[in-house]
C-alpha cells in the first residue's frame, strides 16, 4: 500500500513554508524568484497528491498549466531583472525605492 496522501500534503506545506520564508527574507530578486518556484512546486505537489487521492485527472492537467504559467512568469521576471540591472547594477530589491512616499 502506498504511503498516505497526508504525508505528501504535509511535505508540500513544509516546502511552501520554506519558500515563503525565503521570499520574505532574501533581498536578491533572483533568489526571490527561486523561492517563488519553490512555492509553485509545493502547490503542484498538492495538486498531484489530490489527483491521486480523488482519482481525478484534472489535478494533473492543472499542474500542467501551472508549469506553463511558471515558465512564462520566470521569462518575463528575469527580463525585468535584466532591465533593472542595466539601470542600477544591482538586483537587490532594497535599492528599488523610488516609489517610496
Partner 1 sequence: MIATAYSVPSIVIFVTAALLILVGAIGVISLRHPVHAALSLIMTLFGVAVAFVAQSADFLAAVQIIVYAGAIVVLFLFVIMFLGVDRREGISVEPLVGQRAFAALGVLVTVAGLIALMARSHWVSGVMSVSSAGQPISTGQGNVKELGTAVFTTYLFAFEATAALLIIAVVGAVLLARRERTTQPEEVSS
Window 75-94: residues binding partner 1 (CB under 8 A)? 75-76, 78-83, 85-86, 91-92, 94
Residue 44 neighbours by CB under 8 Å, 6+ apart: 63, 66, 67
- Smallest gap from residue 93 Cβ to partner 1 (A): 10
- Smallest gap from residue 101 Cβ to partner 1 (A): 17
C-alpha cell at 27: 533581498
Q: Is the dihedral of CA 76, 80, 86, 89 positive or negative?
A: negative
Window 18-77: residues binding partner 1 (CB under 8 A)? 18-22, 24-28, 30-31, 33-35, 37-38, 41, 44-45, 48-58, 60-61, 63-65, 67-76
**For 42, which DSSP code?**
H
Amino acid at each position: 500500500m502506498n504511503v498516505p496522501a497526508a504525508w505528501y500534503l504535509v511535505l508540500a506545506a513544509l516546502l511552501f513554508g520554506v519558500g515563503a520564508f525565503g521570499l520574505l527574507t532574501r533581498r536578491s530578486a533572483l533568489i526571490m524568484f527561486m523561492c517563488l518556484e519553490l512555492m509553485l512546486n509545493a502547490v503542484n505537489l498538492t495538486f498531484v497528491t489530490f489527483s491521486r487521492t480523488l482519482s481525478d485527472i484534472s489535478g494533473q492537467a492543472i499542474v500542467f498549466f501551472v508549469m506553463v504559467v511558471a515558465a512564462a512568469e520566470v521569462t518575463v521576471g528575469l527580463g525585468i531583472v535584466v532591465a533593472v540591472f542595466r539601470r542600477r547594477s544591482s538586483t537587490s530589491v532594497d535599492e528599488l525605492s523610488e516609489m517610496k512616499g
